[in-house]
Amino acid sequence: MTSRRTASLIAVTTLVVIGAAGSLGYALRPVPEPELLRAGSEETSAPVVAQTFDDSRRVQVKLVSGADQTLAIQTSGTLTASWCRDGGEVTSGTVVAHVDERPLIALHTTVPLYRDLSVGDDGADVAALQTELIRLGHLDAETVDGEFGSRTGRALQHLRVRAGVEEGERFAERAEFIWLPSPQLTGIACAVKVGDAVSQGSAIATSRGALERVTVQSVPDNLTPGDRTIKIGSVRGPLDAQGTASDPAFLAQLAGDERLISGLAEDPGATVTATIALASPIDAYSIPAGALIYDGDSSCVKTSAGTVKTELLGSSLGAAVVAFEGEVPESVAIGTALEGVHCE
């Protein structure tokens, strides 16, 4: 009986040992390398990706204004009404004040009105008056001839009526206008108040100098050739090759940003961030930066047809933006495929 138990115990023990050995062998078997960790084949080419390129650059610019302007009255009497507000604006074609109950209309002309004008008068001041009457919508464009005629007289009457006063006569009396150096002046500081005595040539208000130009503080090197624009906030305008923007429409839009202009008035030396870019984006192509082969000041890439010369336009995040001389390839060589290759 004892011998049978001993034999059974030996058999069970043997089975346990064999099972443990099998488990240990399975655990110690070579584990296949995960597919994701296996070394892939080396890439020797990369696609050429078409894109547009505007060579945009962030720059610092300075807004340059002229001297403060004085709004002068050309009559004498008592200021009986005023629409002047500190920090406000004055616009050409609107009533600014009354002197002895007579309305005074702000009017922009490129040549200040220095005399009374009536039918038969001519000169640069008449042409300037006609130009502003056209801009304000009171005169036809073909009427600028520098001669004060009946149509110019009627346009003056339309100007007065739109400004909210009686149409008056068909002539321009210097005393009824306050000359403006630009169509709109902002940042007004009132010089007199209702009830004050005024005289010819005295100031009713002063205005911040008009914005004359925007200049790039440091024009970036290696700009892609071509006409450029400048953008400040949401306002965009043309930029010349020297880094100056002086387009009147662009400056007028900037001047309308009261927050911007007020901030610069407090710190005239301050600069503003702007973006300059090509006015017309060009066709370009993106390739890996490592695909470029440099030969002195020139560069090329290797393609299935040989080497092709390139012009480097820009680069970002490991990619080069280029233009190709000749036919655009579908792909370019990279990595070991470039060994021993030189630009032809």
Examine the pLDDT at 185 and tell me if it is beyond 90: no
Examine the pLDDT at 103 and tell me if it is beyond 60: yes
pLDDT tens readout for residues 270-300: 899 999 999 999 999 999 999 999 988 889 9
Given this model, what pLDDT does residue 300 score? Answer: 95
Q: Which of 125 and 26 is assigned the larger pLDDT?
A: 125
Distance, in Å, from the CA atom of 257 to the CA atom of 49, rounded to the nearest integer, reads 40
- How are beta strands 319-324 and 306-316 bridged, if at all? antiparallel
Given this model, what pLDDT does residue 19 score? Answer: 53
Entry field: residues in the chain:
344
Q: Where are the domains of the chain?
A: 45-52+282-338, 57-66+210-278, 84-207
Q: Which of 287, 216, 237, 215 is nearest to 57 (CA)?
A: 216
Q: What are phi and psi of 153, to 5 degrees?
A: -60, -40
Given this model, what pLDDT does residue 129 score? Answer: 96
Q: What is the CATH number of domain 84-207?
A: 1.10.101.10
Average pLDDT over residues 12-29: 49
- Count of CB atoms within 10 A of residue 286's CB? 20
Residue 169 — pLDDT band, cuts 50, 70, 90?
very high
Residue 344 — pLDDT band, cuts 50, 70, 90?
confident
Is the entire prediction scored with pTM above 0.85?
Answer: no
